[in-house]
Structure 1
Amino acid sequence: MVDSLTKAQRHRVMSRIRSKDTKPEMLVRRLLFAEGYRYRLHASDLPGTPDLVFRGRRQAIFVNGCFWHSHNCPNGTHKPATNADFWEAKRTRTVERDSQALAGLAGRGWTTFTVWECELRDLAAVAAALHNFLGPPGSGRQQLSRSSTR
């Protein structure tokens, strides 16, 4: 199958694909913030640059697109017909990089959770799974002791 776009048009389309602040990531962020969770974004000092980081809990969340990270759903198992070797190599490298990042975080004592794009069709189930992973909001914060001096 021949690509229906010119090389310049394809470049323009592909350059608009973001790695941060994607629609799935924004859905998860809004959901967690509304539940009372507070987090940091895209911690570049951690392996894999997790999308959401809870430092006090030592927990990280990745929000992955099914196609790009080769999830086992219909979107993730789709194989492009055009330039198939390129896409297979690119997606294989992504999966390898993901597993290295998860291993690196585990080696540092972090626990991780991955939210897949296809799972966001059922936000209630995602919310329950995230709450189960994170525990109650605010529980990861270190409590400051207040001492009174008179």
Structure 2
Amino acid sequence: MRTYDLTPFYRSTVGFDRLFSLLDQATGDGSPGYPPYNIERTGENEYRISVAVSGFSQPELSIVAKENTLTIKGEKTANENAPGKSEVLYRGIAARAFERVFQLADFVQVKNASLEHGLLHVDLVREIPEAKKPRSIPITSAGANAPQVVDGTADKAAA
């Protein structure tokens, strides 16, 4: 696997720390391929993350949204030594614990989560507040609408 050393960029740039740390995470081997997932765009500002969690029940899964991070965890509670259980000769179905972390853009919020047919669906929506949306500013000519003094303090100071 190719490795890239981004250390010289850390020394010569200011304000790009988050960008380089995201590049380090993307190129590193720290993100395993289990469980597989899809990210879909379902509308103009709506998204869906689908994670394959076959074999996990609802109490064994947890979803935590904190700041701009969405964390999905699965912990299998195996009771292999329970009386009356059969002996497993070969385990080919993965039942290991996992943790998937997704970086969310600003103003993206978790709307809903559902578990069906072994897939965990997390619906996301981007809701930009009115104060952050672009707004149109009307342009007026300077001669027609000259600024006017309301309280008259400028006239008193000139006199």
Q: Is this a same-fold pair by TM over 0.5?
A: no
TM-score (norm 2): 0.27
Q: Which has a greater percent of helix?
A: 1
Bigger relative CO (Cα 8 Å, ≥ 6 apart): 1
TM-score (norm 1): 0.29
Rg comparison, structure with higher value? 2
Q: Which has a greater percent of strand?
A: 2
